[in-house]
Amino acid sequence: MDCTCKAKICGNTNIEDARMAADAGADFFGVVVEVDFSPRSLTIQQAASLFSQPPLPAVALVFEMTKARLDLLINTLHPYAVQFLGDSDPALLKKLKATYPSTEIWQSIHLPQSGADVSIDIYQRSMDRYLAAGVDALLLDTATAAQGKTKFGGTGQVFDWEIAKKLLDSAPKGFPVWLAGGINPENVRLAIETVSPFGIDLCSGVEAVPGKKDSQKIDALMDAIRATSNNRRKLQ
């Protein structure tokens, strides 16, 4: 069994930060594309420099993007994967899988932050729909509400990891399920030990300011992930 937890550094706005993630040993980097609630969002044209010669497999994050715009994004950026935020139409995901077989389709599922009442059945049904649509990976993240609007991801807030563990355990064995939401170098070890995800996905936890990464935080994160993965391997 592979006990190595993957790492995706998300919310990159410049190629220097993507290279920093690669040098530290991350496995993927993410770029938010045309998501109006994110301070890290880039247009397709602005994102092109990060995707032209990516130092790691590059993931484009989108939210309620039209099919025409998705076609333009994929044909312009050629991302390793497109990650969908919010509630996506499984039929659209299935169509994109058929149209772009070389591009992976990832889907985020957002839960309320810790302390909220949660019906796990709702999120289980969402997982089942996306799995049936043929997505390549799922990501469990936090959604927060402020001023009548919901923010999907990039919140810096943790949700209940015990629920994440239950959802992950219900997924097909070996299927990639990532954990996101409020993870940082200080709590990543507990996150991995509690949930045993395929990978860790984070953004604000390794930033100096929104949109700019901190090399020391990235190094500390990757050191903690490697140490925890090694410990898990010894216990097998």
Domain residues for the domain of 228 are 6-235
**Is 217 part of a structural domain of the chain?**
yes
The residue written with tokens 């998705």 in the block is 70
Please list the residues that pair with 33 across neighbouring strands.
Answer: 42
Query: Does 97 score more than 90 pLDDT?
Result: yes
Burial of 36: CB neighbours in 10 Å, binned 0-12, 13-18, 19+: exposed
CA distances from 187 to 31, 44, 183 (A): 23, 33, 6
Task: Choose among 233, 236, 219, 210: nearest CA to 32.
Answer: 210
The model's pTM: 0.91
Query: Mean pLDDT over all residues of the chain?
Result: 91
Number of domains in the chain: 1
Q: Which two tokens stand for residue 21?
A: 């993630």
| Triad 75, 27, 33: Cα angle to 5° | 35
pLDDT at 153: 56
Q: Once rounded to an integer, what is the mean pLDDT over residues 212-220?
A: 97
**147: pLDDT confidence band, cut at 50, 70 and 90?**
very low
Query: How large a percentage of the chain has pLDDT more than 70?
Result: 89
**229: pLDDT confidence band, cut at 50, 70 and 90?**
confident
Q: Once rounded to an integer, what is the mean pLDDT over residues 220-233?
A: 87
Q: Once rounded to an integer, what is the mean pLDDT over residues 80-84?
A: 98
Q: Once rounded to an integer, what is the mean pLDDT over residues 132-148?
A: 81
pLDDT at 219: 97
- Domain of 17: which CATH number? 3.20.20.70
Query: Does 206 score more than 50 pLDDT?
Result: yes
Query: Does 112 score more than 90 pLDDT?
Result: no
**Is 67 part of a structural domain of the chain?**
yes
| Triad 90, 113, 131: Cα angle to 5° | 20
**Is 1 part of a structural domain of the chain?**
no
Please give the helix or strand (H or E) that residue 208 lies within, else none: strand 207-209
Do 159 and 113 meet the contact criterion of CB atoms below 8 Å apart?
A: yes
pLDDT at 235: 60
